Amino acid sequence: MNRGPVLATIITIGDELLIGQTIDTNSAWMAQELNKIGIWVHRRVAIGDVWKDIWQALDEESQLSDVVLITGGLGPTADDITKPLLCHYFGGKLVVHEESLQNVKHIFETILKRPLIERNLKQAEVPDVCTPIVNKRGTAPGMWFEKEVQVKDGSHKTKYFVSMPGVPHEMKGMMHHYVLPQLHEKFELLPIVHRTLLTAGIGESFLAERIQDFEKNLPSNIKLAYLPNYGMVKLRLTASGNDAKTIAELDACFDMLQQEVQDVMVINEDLPLEAVIGKILIEKKQTIATAESCTGGYIAHLLTSRSGSSAYYKGSIVSYANEVKEEVLGVTADTLEQKGAVSKETVVQMVRGALDTLKTNYALATSGIMGPSGGSLDKPVGTVWVAVGNKDKIETHCFHFRFDRDRNMQLTATNALNMMRKFILSNS
């Protein structure tokens, strides 16, 4: 069994990744799963469907990492060159893997009820120098290779290469059922342990300035990371090892960090804001609704993305048009005419309408100008009114964002949810 720090490289293959046609979510997910078991992702490399580029990446990454995970290029079309390349790279020949062949036949004949063509059958071929990984969620099998590599210091080390489909659902199945358990067997892994908290209302640089003394005095085996995102910053402490001494030291540092940022801390867990609100509402056995104009249901999407959200979230009224604000939420024609849709008065009435219509303990409303068009001198692009409240009290705030439409919408959602969180805690 191999000992010491274990490094991995993730190689994603496909022209569609380089031109932005497909967003690479595989690397992020794989990195998280490897980190959980104690493997550090050393590099992430994206490559097009070019033979020499893939070959060069395999050579380079095998010098740097113990494990090279590859996704993509295993389909049945001519541009899927990963399998023949790997066969040549490891000096093998393609042979039919009987279990994969039966899997392909079962999928086409029993599940899809479609005729099989030669192109489909060839997906069951794998290099005879690999350990095939049956694809329980698709047709293309994965491949596990082992190779003795001479590294720069002249020594020889066994390096592990795993090729998997680029389809996320199929890749994840292989990782869970085969790859991660195998890596556990091949290496003596030290778990990587994290402690994470979420802050809001303070920028990354100001946060770093505030806790600079804390950071300087951290033990050498504990690292601090700043993870900013749309008006919020996560702080993560990381240590290697799950022995009692390491855990106690990490927890002590985390307690100190919480004291340092107590006034801006949202929660001392690695949770998004919408999950924090859900947790609070479940504990209080209370409910929430949303009335959205400029965010167009995005806040509803965030809240309902959490499993169990039906326990506290009743629904949303997306009142994008003024007539919906009037007819469904009860915003008066006078308010819309005199104050405008983007106004304090409008969002206050939207909250009241949502409370009356959806019968919840709390409601949240948004109305603004996301851009790039629609702004004026009085209300430029990025002007957003948010209201949160219950039957007894409503609070409002006007935000002035300065970014593009997507980022303005995300910032609106983050700030609105944080207003709602604070309101619930203060007015339960």
- pLDDT of 209-227, one tens digit each? 999 999 999 999 999 999 9
Residues 234 and 149 in one domain: no
Choosing from 186, 208, 225, the residue where a domain stops is 186
Domain range spanning residue 372?
A: 273-426
- Render pLDDT for 272-301 as a digit per residue (tens, 0 to 9): 999 999 999 999 999 999 999 999 999 999
Shared-domain flag, residues 419 and 350: yes
**Are 206 and 326 in the same domain?**
no
Paired sense of beta strands 156-164 and 142-150, if any: antiparallel
Question: Residue 386: which CATH number?
Answer: 3.90.950.20
Q: How many domains does the chain have?
A: 3
Residues 141 and 263 in one domain: no
Residues 172 and 246 in one domain: no
What are the DSSP E strand ranges found in 246-401? 265-267, 288-292, 313-318, 362-368, 383-389, 394-400
In sequence order, the 6+-apart residues with CB closer than 8 A to the CB of 30 are: 10, 41, 69, 71, 171, 175
Whether residues 182 and 263 share a domain: the answer is no
**Looking at residue 374, what is its pLDDT?**
92
190 vs 194: CA distance, rounded Å: 13
Q: Is residue 1 part of a domain?
A: no
Question: What is the value of pTM for the model shown?
Answer: 0.77
Residues 354 and 278 in one domain: yes
Q: Is residue 154 part of a domain?
A: yes
Same domain, 136 and 166: yes
**Three-class SS of residue 292?**
strand
Contact 297, 313 (CB under 8 A): no
For the chain, residues with pLDDT lower than 50 are: none
Residues 178 and 35 in one domain: yes
Say which CATH number the domain at 223 has.
Answer: 3.30.70.2860
Q: Within this chain, do residues 45 and 168 fall inside the same structural domain, yes or no? A: yes
Task: Judge whether 21 and 49 are in contact, CB under 8 Å.
Answer: no
Note the pLDDT of residue 357.
97
Residue-level pLDDT at 347: 98
CB atoms within 10 A of CB 276: 18
pLDDT at residue number 2: 52
Q: Are residues 20 and 138 in the same domain?
A: yes
Question: Quick check: is 233 in a domain?
Answer: yes
Domain boundary among 157, 186, 215: 186
Query: Taking the alpha carbons of 263, 268, 272, 274 in that order, is the dihedral positive or negative?
Result: negative
The domain boundary residue, chosen from 186, 206, 232: 186
> Taking a C-beta distance cutoff of 8 angstroms, is the pair 266, 421 a contact?
yes
Written as six digits, the tokens of 112 are 């899809």
pLDDT at site 77 = 83
318/333 same-domain check: yes
